Structure 1
Amino acid sequence: MSRLRPEVVAFDVNETLLDLAPVRAALIDAGHPGELLRPVFGRTLLLGFAASMTGGWCRFRDAFDDALAQETDLDAHRRSAVADAFGELSPHPDVEPALRRLTEAGIRVVTLTHGSPGVAEAGLARGGISPLVERTLSSEDIRAWKPAREVYLWAAGACGVAPGRMALVAAHAWDVLGAQRAGLTGAWFSRGERTYPAVFDAPHVEAGDLPAAVDALLTLPAA
């Protein structure tokens, strides 16, 4: 099935738009190597995915705290200080021009995260790009985690478009897979993941960086 140029492009937040460097720095300040963030973040996702898939739910911050408790010897106070660093994130340098290119082309831009409400807003404001984003969506509002189908359908409904006219751009393959299974156009680009998993359905758009992913979406036929 051929894909159409989206009317709305939703962006994942953590890593895709916002640099996690402050969280990495907080781990270092707490006496742990910055490289530990990857397994902590991965365990956070595992906990959230498992809770969601089995009919439960937990907040991103609570899952992150639990992951820190399992991966480190930090006490609750120091774990909270590390988690607070999510409020200090800033956009990657390629984000502002990519979002501006979409808005100048008449495409609506939103963010879609299962992360804590306020993180995207703070990061966008810190980067001075809040005016480029129509709205920020957190699936905490519906107590679900991506890549559950319901999250993407909820986002499309919240934006008033059919799933087929919405795209999801993410640096996480699992997020793109979930969006595509829900009927959205998926666009994956390499930021932290080196390759797209062969065991997943191929992404509709695959690019080496964020600008190239945006350019590919803009070349899709309008109708």
Structure 2
Amino acid sequence: MRPHVVAFDVNETLLDLAPVRAALVELGRPADLLATVFARTLLTGVATATAGTWCRFRDAFDAALAQLTDLPAADRARVADAFLELVPHPDVDPALRRLAGAGVRVVTLTHGSPGVAEAGLRRGGVQALVERSLSSEVIRAWKPAREVYLWAAGACGVRPERMTLVAAHAWDVHGALRAGLGGAWFPRSERRYPAVYDPAALVADDLAGAVDALLALPPS
């Protein structure tokens, strides 16, 4: 059945990380370093949560930079500040407009810092198409913890099965599926959906294809 609410992951899925990459390059670091730093950020955040503690996304990002570079604190802060300069990928505007036109509620769901999604959507002129932006920092948790997705569904006033997560990160979709949500995956930096995860309900070639597949589902 067609979901009542579609929740989009933010970093990479909706917003292009190019400004963060550019900030690293301006400091003399290779552009491809961002992928490693971003992966280490996720590892740090999930590790703290799994161990029973917690840290903010920005703190995990700073820790990853400190582990992988010799950048001083001021330069690390400069790179982290670039998250507030993100803009949507070109395919985001038409995708959100199609969902809004079909009467599907749209939200964002991130464990990133509050304000990042809002700033990027506003810069891209699509903030009005998004009902609300949710950051799991509110509940001191990181995706893909089950509690994040259940909290998001509750915040939107729908049962988990009436919400679908759309993400370019397979681990995120896997987490949503395990929490009872629907899941749709499409590639950006990842090339295929891993067989070790629960099969995604929808796998598309791109964001437009994911939205097409969701709207092709029968209305509930």
Equivalent residue number for residue 41 of structure 1:
38
Corresponding position: 1:84 with 2:109: no
Instruction: Read off the aligned partner of 2:17 and give its amino acid letter.
Output: L
Q: Does 1:32 align with 2:29?
A: yes
Regions of 4+ moved over 2 Å: none
SS of the residue corresponding to residue 23 of structure 1 reads: helix
**One of 4, 10, 13 as aligned partner of 1:16:** 13
Question: Structure 2 counterpart of 1:102, which letter?
Answer: L
- Does the alignment pair 1:108 with 2:98? no
Residue 134 of structure 2 corresponds to residue 162 of structure 1: no
The 1-side partners of 2:64 and 2:51 are apart by 19
How far has the Cα of 1:198 moved from its partner?
Answer: 1.4
Match of 1:60 in 2: 57
Identity of aligned residues (%): 74
Alignment partner, residue 75 of structure 1: 72
Query: What corresponds to 1:51 in structure 2?
Result: 48
The one-letter amino acid paired with 2:60 is A
Matches of 2:203 and 2:69 in 1, distance apart? 35
Q: Give the alignment's Cα RMSD to 1 decimal.
A: 0.6
Match of 1:93 among 82, 90, 96: 90
User: Displacement of 1:108 after TM fit?
Assistant: 0.2
Residue 6 of structure 1, aligned match among 3, 17, 33:
3
Please list every run of 5 or more consecutive structure 1 residues that lacks an aligned counterpart in the other structure: none
Moved more, 46-55 or 104-113: 46-55
**What's 1:178 paired with?**
175
Secondary structure, in 3 states, of the residue corresponding to 1:34? coil
Deviation at 1:53, TM superposition (A): 1.3
State how far apart, in whole Å, the 2-side matches of 1:217 and 1:57 are: 34
Q: CA deviation at 1:115?
A: 0.1
CA-CA distance at 1:95 after TM superposition: 0.1
Aligned AA (2:134): L
Write the letter of the residue equivalent to 1:115.
G
> How far apart are 1:172 and its partner, in Å?
0.2
**Aligned pairs, how many?**
220
Could you tell me which residue of structure 1 aligns to residue 187 of structure 2? 190
Q: Which amino acid aligns with 2:19?
A: P
Deviation for aligned residue 1:61: 0.2
Which deviates further from its counterpart, 90-99 or 193-202? 193-202
Give the corresponding residue for 1:138.
135
Once the 2 structures are TM-superposed, how far is the Cα of residue 55 of structure 1 from its aligned partner? 1.4
Q: Is the partner of 1:10 in helix, strand or coil?
A: strand
SS at match of 2:32: helix
Output the TM-score relative to the length of structure 2.
Answer: 0.99
In structure 1, the partner of 2:208 is 211
Deviation at 1:54, TM superposition (A): 1.6
